[in-house]
Amino acid sequence: MSLRHAVLGLLAEGPASGYDLMKLFDVSLANTWPATQSQLYSELGKLAEAGLVAVAAEGPRGRKEYAITDAGRAELRRWITDVEPTRVTRSDMLLRVFFLAQVSPEEARGYLRNQAGLAAERVERLEGIRPFVEDGDDNLSRYGRIALEYGLRLGKAQQEWAEWAESQIK
Amino acid sequence: MSLRHAVLGLLAEGPASGYDLMKLFDVSLANTWPATQSQLYSELGKLAEAGLVAVAAEGPRGRKEYAITDAGRAELRRWITDVEPTRVTRSDMLLRVFFLAQVSPEEARGYLRNQAGLAAERVERLEGIRPFVEDGDDNLSRYGRIALEYGLRLGKAQQEWAEWAESQIK
DNA sequence: AACTACATGTAAGAAGTTACATGATTTT
DNA sequence: AAAATCATGTAACTTCTTACATGTAGTT
C-alpha cells in the first residue's frame, strides 16, 4: 500500500498530472520507491475513487491535474505517524551469500568483490545527485537530503562489508 | 524469481520436505527472504515440474522429501554467478522521510527517534542469534555468519543515521 | 512536414500475503 | 484420550513488471 502514499506525498506538495508525477518519481523517489507509469495511472484512478485525490483541472491532450484532498492529507499523516514501517526488506544480493558454498572460493570472492564495486558505484552515483538537491529549500529537497544521506551511509557500510566478507573466504 | 533459488539453495545442503524447509527458512533466511508456507509448497511443485528438484522419498502423513537435481544445482550456480542482484530495494521507512514535512517537527523527530530505536532493537535481536551460528561449520552457518555481519553493520548504520537525522530537524 | 514531448490508458502474468481447509502421527 | 506436532494443499486478493496501444500539441 505504499505506492498510494508515495503519490499522496508528492501531491501534498502541489497538484500534478500522472505525467508530472512520473517525472517527479524519477528525480526524487526512484531510489526509494520506484514506480512504473502503468502503476501510477491506475493508482491515481483508485485514489480518486477513494476520495483521497481529485481532478483539480483538465488541460490539453486529456491532461488531468490531480490535487490531494483533506481526506488524502489526513490519510498521509496517519500513514506517517501511525503505521509501522515494514520489517524485512528482501535482498537477493544477501540471499546469494547464504549459498556461496555452491560455487568455488574464487567465484565467491569474485561475487563479493563485484558487490563491493557496485556499492561503490552506487555511492558515487548518489554523490552525483547531491548538487541537485543541495540548495533547494522546498520540502522534497530538504528531506530528500536526509534520505540521500541514508543512501550514502548505507551504501558505504555495504561496500565495507563486502570487502570484509571477501577477505573472510579462505 | 528468488524464492525459487532460495529453495534450491537450501535443498543444495540436503533433501528436505516442505515442512522442513519452512522451519529452515525461519531460522536462516527469515531476515533476508521470508516465505510463507503456501508460497513454499507451490514453489516446490513448480520446481519439480521444471526438473530442478525431485521427490526423493515419501514418508508418513503424505510427507514428500525433495532433493535437488543436477539441473537444479546448475541453475543455482548460474543464478549466483551470472544474474545481477536487483538494484533497488524498496523502503517504506525511507519513503516516509520524504514526506516528514507533512507532520509537525515534533512528530517528525519522534518518527526518526522511533526508527533509531527499532534499528537498535533489530541489532540486538541479531546479536541474540549469533550464539546459534557461532560454532557451526556447515555451509549455512558459515555463510550465515557473513550475512549476519551484514545485518549488524547495516543496522548500526541505520541507527546512527536516524539519530543524526533527528538532530537535523529544527 | 517531421520530430519531440506530452499524455493516458489496457492486458497479461509473476510474486507475495492472508486465510481457509484437512488430516495423520506421536507424545503426554 | 487429548494435545502437540507433522504435513500438505487451495483460494482470493494485492502488488509489481513488462509490453502493448493510442493520440495530441508544440517546436524546429
Handedness of CA A45, A50, A51, A52 (dihedral sign): negative
Q: What sign has the CA pseudo-torsion B114, B119, B122, B127?
A: negative
Let me know: does A53 contact A68? Beta carbons within 8 Å: yes
B77 close to B141: Cβ distance less than 8 angstroms:
no
> What is the band of A135 on the pLDDT scale with cuts at 50, 70, 90?
confident
Judged by CB atoms closer than 8 Å, whether chains meet at A150 and B139 is answered as no
CB-nearest partner of B81 from A32, A111, A143: A111
Residue B135 has pLDDT above 90, yes or no: no
User: pLDDT tens digit string along B60-78?
Assistant: 999 999 999 999 999 999 9
Say if residue B20's pLDDT is above 90.
yes
Q: How many CB atoms lie within 10 A of CB B141?
A: 15
* Chain B touched by A139 (CB under 8 Å): yes
Residue A45: CB atoms within 10 Å: 13
Pick from A5, A27, A78, A96 the residue to mutate for testing the B interface (most B CBs within 10 Å).
Answer: A96
pLDDT value of residue A166: 98
> Is some CB atom of chain A closer than 8 A to the CB atom of B103?
yes
- Residue B170: closest C-alpha in chain A: A142
According to the model, what pLDDT value does residue A76 have? 97
Mutate to test the interface with A, among B1, B4, B78, B92 (most CBs of A within 10 A): B92
The grid cell for A144 is: 530528500
Statement: residue B151 has pLDDT above 90: yes
List the grid coordinates of B131: 550464539
* D20 closest protein residue (CA to C1'): A38
**pLDDT tens-digit series, residues A96-130:** 999 999 999 999 999 999 999 999 999 999 999 89
The answer on pLDDT for A43 being more than 90 is yes
Mean pLDDT, residues A31-50 taken together: 96
